Structure 1
Amino acid sequence: MAFLQVNYYSQVLGMDRVMNVILPELSDHNPNWTAADLKDIPVLYLLHGMSGDQAVWSRRTHIERLVRQTPIAVVMPSTDLAWYTNTQYGMNYFDALFDELPQKIGTLFPQISKKRAKNFVAGLSMGGYGAFKMAFSGQQFSYAASLSGALIGDPNFPGRDSWQNNAYWQGIFGELKKFTGSENDIIALAKKQSAIKQPLPKLYAWIGEQDFLFDNNQQTIPQIESLGYDVTFETSPGEHDWYYWDQKIERILDWLPINYQPEKRLS
């Protein structure tokens, strides 16, 4: 596997950006791989939470080791603190990540698949929200996963006031009284997508039973499932913490249709 830090320019945001990319390559660690295995490679877009950036998944989990023997690319971008959203202050982070970034990936890494069946997205906390939001916003992703996701369908979502003040949230989402039914309401997005009668993404969600977002997930997931989505929803003892996310990212890799091969060697 190659681990790349990619500095690129975003036309949408009008600024330089950074993403980390794990990219399969021929090496002694994978003697059975051929050049054909590294064409049309599946890709997982892995999204960070509020306190993270493009490096946090590689710093706090074993993601690089976990995919070492599985031919899948992992793209880790950053949305700063913008909630994978076109903000009210004119920074269109959602467009930059949903539309522009896959185009950039296609240009820089032509071996990565553009097929919906091989494009996946996952994230934790704010990134869980972002993953579902992206999956519900078009036909780009066939699988989406949320770990401890802030699955917002209500302006009074858990943790709002403790995370940031009201001015911050209005800068991201606009007037909170208008949030429900908006382009940022994932329940509204799921309803809109399901009504179009196009293929729906398969979904996975995990939430710890001691997580402050537990009730949020318990309320939101059944609403999504009732719309016809194939949802695998799991709970177990756990808090809002990297200790659990490091374990559950392997569960996501095993759930994805990629013939996941866990790392067995220490070398």
Structure 2
Amino acid sequence: MKFKYSPYLVFSFFFLFSFTTLASVDTVATYSASMQKEIKAVVITPKDYNESKDYPVVYLLHGYSGNYKNWIEKVPQIESLADLYDLIIVTPDGNFGSWYWDSPEVGDSKYETYVSEELVEFIDQKYSTIPNREGRAITGLSMGGHGALYLSFRHQDTYGTAGSLSGGVDISPFPENWEMKKYLGTKAENPERWEEYSVMYQSNRLIPNKLKLIISCGTEDFFYDVNVKLHEKLAYNNIPHTFTTGPGGHTWEYWADAVQYQLLFFHNYFEQSK
């Protein structure tokens, strides 16, 4: 499914239903046994949060050079969206440029294990969550968009729905960018590895209709072409997904609009999974 994304329509929808947020925003320190260090995350709980109810969780990943505070600082309206959709939002730290891999080159960079195992376990223990795949979503921007799809494709029993915002979904065209060779080794010396660690090739793992997928990218984004190619590959392989596109570059303005639709998409999935 492909359609043109209208930030103005989504903004109008959000404006009509927005209200003064009473969401709780906490910073938590989680311990990663795989990396033997503490890692911070922001956790947003809705205004009516209480232990007598189980809540769905959306994991929201930051981009390259970012950190766990980016989403709440750049897009503070996600607090109101947590209230509106009655869900928990978690924004973990993915280090400066981990790409959310368990790196074969850097021994203490195991962010696949951290996000999809250690952090999920921590959140399910500390908060009143729906502790199964039907209660979990993951998305992110840029490096985090790659990370969200990479992790969800590899952990289809952990997440029920996933998305990407301007994701670097095929790393092969960018062998000298964003420190990726630090974590994978050079593409020239490790061509198979550069395929294995790319969303484009991990898509072969997908079981049709198991993951509810939404992929968004602006037409002026330098990742637009690779997102179109991923959309075409998924369509060719009969993997149902929603692909939204419209005017926009690799900017917070685009992500602030697009994340609103993705959270609505996840909310609808959670409601249908009850």
TM-score tier after normalising by the smaller chain length: 0.7 to 0.9
AA aligned opposite 2:146: Y
The within-5 A match list for 1:111-150 is 111-138=128-155, 139-150=157-168
Asked if 1:16 is matched to 2:29, the reply is no
Q: 1:30 is matched with which residue? A: none
Match in the other structure for 1:253: 263
Is contact 1:203-1:229 (8 Å) kept?
Answer: no
Distance 1:232 1:258, change over 3 A: closer
Cα shift readout 1:91-119 (whole Å, capped 9, x = no counterpart): 2121111111111112211x111121110
Report the equivalent of 2:4: none
Q: How far apart, in 2, do the equivalents of 1:10 and 1:89 lie?
A: 15
Deviation at 1:201, TM superposition (A): 0.5
> Is the Cα–Cα contact under 8 Å of residues 70 and 259 in structure 1 kept in the other structure?
no
Contact 2:30 2:119 in 1 (8 A): no
Deviations 1:110-137 (A, max 9, x none): x111121110001011011011111101
The alpha carbon displacement at 1:258 in A equals 4.4
Verify: 1:206 aligned to 2:216, yes or no. Answer: yes
Residue 76 of structure 1 pairs with residue 91 of structure 2? yes
Task: Tell me which residue corresponds to 1:151.
Answer: 169
Structure 1: gaps of 5 or more residues: 28-34, 261-267
- Please say if 1:170 is aligned against 2:181: yes
**Structure 1 position 40 matched with structure 2 position 54:** yes
Residue 58, structure 1, aligned to residue 72, structure 2: yes
Report the Cα distance in structure 2 between the residues aligned to 1:148 and 1:181, rounded to whole angstroms: 19
Distance change in 2, residues 1:64/1:171 (3 Å): same
Partner of 2:14: none
AA of the residue aligned to 1:50: Y
Structure 2 Cα separation of the partners of residues 169 and 250 of structure 1: 29
How many Å separate the matches in 2 of 1:175 and 1:223?
26
Q: Is the 8 A contact 1:42 1:258 kept in 2?
A: no
Gaps of 5+ in 2: 1-22
By how many angstroms is 1:179 displaced? 3.0
- Indicate conservation of the 8 Å contact 2:184/2:194, yes or no: no
Q: Partner amino acid for 1:26?
A: D
Partner SS state of residue 29, structure 2? strand
Q: Distance in 2 between matches of 1:169 and 1:206?
A: 23
Alignment match, 2:230: 220
1:18 & 1:74 partners in 2: Cα distance? 14
Q: Is the 8 A contact 1:9 1:16 kept in 2?
A: yes
2:46 and 2:100 mapped to 1: Cα distance?
27
Counterpart of 1:224 in 2: which secondary structure? helix
Task: Please give the TM-score of this superposition, normalised by the length of structure 1.
Answer: 0.83
Distance in 2 separating the partners of 1:70 and 1:104: 22
Whole-angstrom CA distance in 1 between matches of 2:163 and 2:204: 18
Using the TM superposition, give the Cα deviation of residue 181 of structure 1 relative to its aligned residue in structure 2, in angstroms: 4.1
Specify the alignment match of 2:15 in structure 1.
Answer: none
Task: Check conservation: 1:116, 1:140, Cα contact below 8 A.
Answer: yes
In the aligned structure 2, how far is the partner of 1:225 from the partner of 1:104?
36
User: Alignment length, in residue pairs?
Assistant: 240
Match of residue 9 from structure 2:
none
Identity %: 27
User: Secondary structure in 2 aligned to 1:8?
Assistant: strand
Q: Does 1:238 align with 2:248?
A: yes
Secondary structure in 2 matching 1:178:
helix
CA RMSD of aligned residues (A): 2.1
Q: Residues 5 and 20 of structure 1 are in contact (CA less than 8 Å); yes or no, is this contact kept in structure 2? A: yes
Aligned counterparts of 1:132 and 1:78: Cα–Cα separation in 2:
17
